[in-house]
Structure 1
Amino acid sequence: MTWTAITQHRAQLGESPFWDAPTQALYWVDIAGRQALRLIGDNVQIWQMPQHISAFIPCDSGDALVTLSSGVYRLDLDSPGLEPQLTLFCIADPQPGNRPNEARCDALGRLWLGTMQTNIGENGEDLPVVRRCGGLFRIDRDARVTPLLQGLGIPNTLLWSDDLTRLTFGDSLDGTLYQHFIRTDGSLDPAQPWFGPHQRGVPDGSAWDAEGFVWNARWDGSCLLRLTADGQVDRVLELPVSRPTSCVFGGEDLKTLYITSAASPLEHPLDGAVLSIRLDVPGKSCHRFSG
Structure 2
Amino acid sequence: MTCIAVTPHRAQLGEGPFWDAPTQALYWVDIAARQALRLQGSQVQVWQLPEHVSAFIPCASGDALVTLSSGVHRLDLATQALTLLCVADPHAGNRANEARCDAQGRLWLGTMQNNLGEQGEDLPVTRRCGGLYRIDADGQVTPLLQGLGIPNTLLWSEQGRQVHFADSLDGTLYRHAIQPDGQLDPAQAWFGPHERGVPDGSAMDSEGYIWNARWDGSCLLRLAPDGSLDRIIELPVSRPTSCVFGGPNLTTLYITSAASPLNHPLDGALLAIEVQVPGTPCHRFAG
Is the TM value for this pair above 0.5?
yes
% of aligned pairs identical? 76
Shift of 1:277: 1.1
Alignment of 1:109-188 (within 5 A): 109-188=105-184
CA distance in 2, matches of 1:48, 1:8: 18
CA distance in 1, matches of 2:134, 2:178: 12
Helix, strand or coil for the counterpart of 2:264?
coil
AA at the equivalent of 2:65: L
Aligned residues: 287
In the alignment, which residue of structure 2 is the partner of 1:77?
Answer: 77
Gaps of 5+ in 1: none
Among candidates 200, 207, 210, match of residue 204 of structure 1: 200
In the alignment, which residue of structure 2 is the partner of 1:65?
Answer: 65
CA distance in 2, matches of 1:123, 1:76: 26
Shift of 1:2: 2.4
Does 1:26 find its partner at 2:30?
no
Shift of 1:187: 0.3
Flag as ranges the 4+ runs of structure 1 deviating above 6 A: none
CA distance in 2, matches of 1:124, 1:64: 24
In the alignment, which residue of structure 2 is the partner of 1:223?
Answer: 219
Q: Deviations over 1:9-42 (max 9, x none)?
A: 1000000000000000000000000000001001
Does 1:235 find its partner at 2:205?
no
CA distance in 2, matches of 1:3, 1:172: 25
Shift of 1:198: 0.2
Helix, strand or coil for the counterpart of 1:22?
helix
AA at the equivalent of 1:35: Q
Q: CA RMSD in A?
A: 0.5
AA at the equivalent of 2:229: V
AA at the equivalent of 2:277: V
Helix, strand or coil for the counterpart of 1:62?
coil
Q: Deviations over 1:97-124 (max 9, x none)?
A: 0000000000000000000000000111
Helix, strand or coil for the counterpart of 1:221?
coil
In the alignment, which residue of structure 2 is the partner of 1:214?
Answer: 210
CA distance in 2, matches of 1:142, 1:3: 40
CA distance in 1, matches of 2:52, 2:19: 21
CA distance in 2, matches of 1:75, 1:7: 24
CA distance in 1, matches of 2:43, 2:35: 16
CA distance in 2, matches of 1:210, 1:170: 20
Helix, strand or coil for the counterpart of 2:255?
strand
Q: Deviations over 1:148-207 (max 9, x none)?
A: 000000000000011111010000000000000000000000000000000000000000
CA distance in 2, matches of 1:109, 1:51: 24
AA at the equivalent of 1:22: P
Q: Deviations over 1:238-276 (max 9, x none)?
A: 000000000000000100000000000000000000000
CA distance in 1, matches of 2:216, 2:191: 17
In the alignment, which residue of structure 2 is the partner of 1:284?
Answer: 280
CA distance in 2, matches of 1:50, 1:284: 32
AA at the equivalent of 2:250: L
Does 1:5 find its partner at 2:5?
yes
TM-score, length-scaled by structure 1:
0.98
Q: Deviations over 1:187-236 (max 9, x none)?
A: 00000000000000000000000111000000000000000011111010
CA distance in 1, matches of 2:254, 2:175: 24
Alignment of 1:266-281 (within 5 A): 266-281=262-277
CA distance in 1, matches of 2:3, 2:215: 18
Does 1:190 find its partner at 2:186?
yes
AA at the equivalent of 2:17: P
CA distance in 2, matches of 1:157, 1:42: 28
